[in-house]
Chains A and B, each alone.
Chain A
Amino acid sequence: DAGVTQSPTHLIKTRGQQVTLRCSPKSGHDTVSWYQQALGQGPQFIFQYYEEEERQRGNFPDRFSGHQFPNYSSELNVNALLLGDSALYLCASTTWAGKETQYFGPGTRLLVL
């Protein structure tokens, strides 16, 4: 049973560029959430997708957008990158209906120069 997978593992971009990160949820899960973890801090909730719609959003600007596909996989897009967007981006999956453990992927390390 495959767990949560994310790609790419590492990414280097320059300021102003755009980036797309990808996530495939754990088998049987239909809800995907994205988190940003800056160095030395706990993960911060960006947004959550279920049934291809954004269901909840944290305190992040509109430069952060996402998408969920019919197979439940998801993308996180960040436009007009800033130096402060450098972080570990984590994807988590769970089921919308039940109270169930959230499982995290290995993350994508983004460095903005």
Chain B
Amino acid sequence: GIQVEQSPPDLILQEGANSTLRCNFSDSVNNLQWFHQNPWGQLINLFYIPSGTKQNGRLSATTVATERYSLLYISSSQTTDSGVYFCAVWAAGNKLTFGGGTRVLVKP
């Protein structure tokens, strides 16, 4: 099956810093989503981004489907950005395959 790898596995940021999270996938996909999992376990949708670039406030994402990767940018990070960020893809049907996540800690 398709493999999804995220990097870095852990990230510690000072409040106000910018960062880039990467998601690589091993095969062609129909779609890709980025999620933020809060400390209570809720997966919050950030982006639905099969290709191209999208922005939402301080977050933006770019997917280059032909090269099988996606990037999530966090600008001017805040302590509320802490949590785990997951990339998930699906190739056939609606089954999502998740990466291992990037654990982000933003220090005040």
Q: Hey, which bits of chain A sit against chain B, CB under 8 A? A: 31, 33, 35, 37, 41-45, 48, 55-56, 58, 88, 90, 92, 94, 96, 99-104, 106-107, 109
Contacts of B48 in A (CB 8 A): 100-101
Contacts of B94 in A (CB 8 A): 31, 33, 48, 56, 94, 96, 102
- CA A92 – CA B44 in complex, angstroms? 11
| A/B interface sample: 7 pairs, CB < 8 A | A35-B96, A43-B86, A43-B88, A48-B93, A55-B93, A99-B50, A109-B41
Contacts of A106 in B (CB 8 A): 40-42
Nearest CB of chain A from residue B11's CB, rounded to whole Å: 15
From A31, A42, A90, contact of B101 by CB (8 A): A42
Nearest CB of chain B from residue A100's CB, rounded to whole Å: 8
Interface string of B67-108 (1 = CB under 8 A from A): 000000000000000000010100001111111110000000
| Chain B interface residue number, banded | 20 to 34
Which residue on chain B has the smallest CB distance to residue A50?
Answer: B94
Q: Hey, which bits of chain B sit against chain A, CB under 8 A? A: 4, 30-31, 33, 35, 40-43, 45, 48, 50, 86, 88, 93-101
Contact A92 B96 (CB under 8 A): yes
Assess A101 versus B33: contact at CB under 8 Å? Given A42-B99, A42-B100, A56-B93. Answer: yes
Contacts of B40 in A (CB 8 A): 106
Which residue on chain A has the smallest CB distance to residue B97?
Answer: A45
Interface centre among A45, A55, A58, A94 (most CB of B within 10 A): A45
- CA A104 – CA B42 in complex, angstroms? 7
